[in-house]
Structure 1
Amino acid sequence: MERIVVDPKVMIGKPVIRGTRIPVDAIIKRLAEGMCVKEILEEFPNLTEEGIKAALEYAARIVSGEEIIPLVEK
């Protein structure tokens, strides 16, 4: 997780790729919309494939740490 930085002075504390102002959620959103890695790299020339992989790993870690509490119908 060395490639992901959370700094209140950068993008209001959103997780970003180190050395950029590219938020993790921007990368995840583009992948979800169907953009391929090549297209994302063209949109963000200072991003690397390793940065995209780090964003996915970060998102996976966040989601895996969520606690799911099922709602009980009455």
Structure 2
Amino acid sequence: MKRSFYEYLMTLRNTESVEPDAEFANNAFRDQSFPKHEQDYEKISEYLELNAGYLPSMTIFDETYAKYQDTDRK
């Protein structure tokens, strides 16, 4: 069974990092409404565009989601 994007994102958490994907993961961890079981790009993207003021650029999500897809193909 494919893991959710959130499960993948949590592997990137690092409270001491200033890397954009780590900061995204740290903030998503604190976001109680984040769609934790979702895998679909469009649904997650829509949620982030409407609710995630902590994400300074959707490019960060796009790049992180691409890495998520790459890890699933291996």
TM-score interval, normalised by the smaller of the two chains: 0.3 to 0.5
Scaled by the length of structure 2, the TM-score of the pair is: 0.43
Greater helix content? 2
Greater strand content? 1
